[in-house]
Amino acid sequence: MFEQIFESVRQKSPLVHCITNYVTVNDCANMLLACGGSPIMADDPGDAVEITSICGGLTINIGTLNQRTIPAMLAAGKRANELGHPVVLDPVGAGASTLRTDTALRLLKEVKFAVIRGNISEIKTLASGSGTTKGVDADVADRVTEDNLDGAVSFVKELARRIGAVIAVTGAIDIVADEERAFCIRNGRPEMSSITGTGCQLSALTAAFVTANPDQSLEAAAAAVCAMGLCGEVAYKRMTGLDGNASYRNYIIDAMYRLTPAELEKGANYEMR
């Protein structure tokens, strides 16, 4: 299944518009190129709508918000919806500040997303509508473990139903779910958290996979998560005593560049719930 999805990315070379944060914009562009896609970065309101119109997909990352980029995100998202192009949201830091939380919630209200990818804290913020949780959402821990996995899966499925999007929660165990099915993914390395931007790269990667496979959003998002984690594993094996997190970042991008669809199919470590 994942082999065909990744093969589609390689063959179609989807053009993805990224409105992302300036900390990781270069890494996101290189990750898209490494997987076989093509990136365009445009975050000015006078440019974003037109650029979105010529692309196949859009990813919106709120990592470095400002009053110029927020209108561009909304306008580009609405234009992508008009064209039927998939949109991926990365609600970086939702819950950490009023601006981030309010912007993420406004985006959810005004833009239809194919996939929303974040950590469990960010996703809980979206679920509750504020920086604190309540009701059923409060029962979900801030870290997904084997012990609470069933409860986390139920929470993610319910949120996917409420929002109408695939929800990808990444952490030690990744959950990618729609309202009926969930992939529980165990690829990756803990050292990936030492690199700024692996999540941002994954969101851009997810946009490429979903753009190339628009009728399989769940499977495409899960394939992207598995691919990123698998590349983290492969890259870690290259590390020497002289290497640090900067080398590790480059090795992950190199691993994606060299990853084959067959290797992804073989190396993807997941179960369905």
CA-based max dimension of the chain: 51
pLDDT for 113: 98
Annotated binding site, which residues?
41, 117, 170, 197
Q: Would you call 57 helix, strand, or coil by DSSP?
A: strand
Residue pair 86/65 in contact (Cβ under 8 Å)? The answer is no
Look at strands 115-118 and 182-185 and give their pairing: unpaired
Annotated binding site for ATP, which residues?
117, 170
pLDDT band at 129 (very low <50, low <70, confident <90, very high): confident
Q: How far apart are CA 99 and CA 105, in angstroms?
A: 10
Annotated binding site for substrate, which residues?
41, 197
Is the pLDDT score of 137 beyond 60?
no
Q: How far apart are CA 273 and CA 126, in angstroms?
A: 23
Q: How far apart are CA 52 and CA 18, in angstroms?
A: 9
Question: What superfamily would CATH give domain 1-272?
Answer: Ribokinase (3.40.1190.20)
Q: Would you call 144 helix, strand, or coil by DSSP?
A: coil
Q: How do residues 184-239 score in pLDDT, each as one tens digit? A: 999 999 999 999 999 999 999 999 999 999 999 999 999 999 999 999 999 999 99
Q: What ranges do the domains of the chain cover? A: 1-272
Is the pLDDT score of 138 beyond 80?
no
Q: How do residues 1-22 score in pLDDT, each as one tens digit? A: 999 999 999 999 999 999 999 9
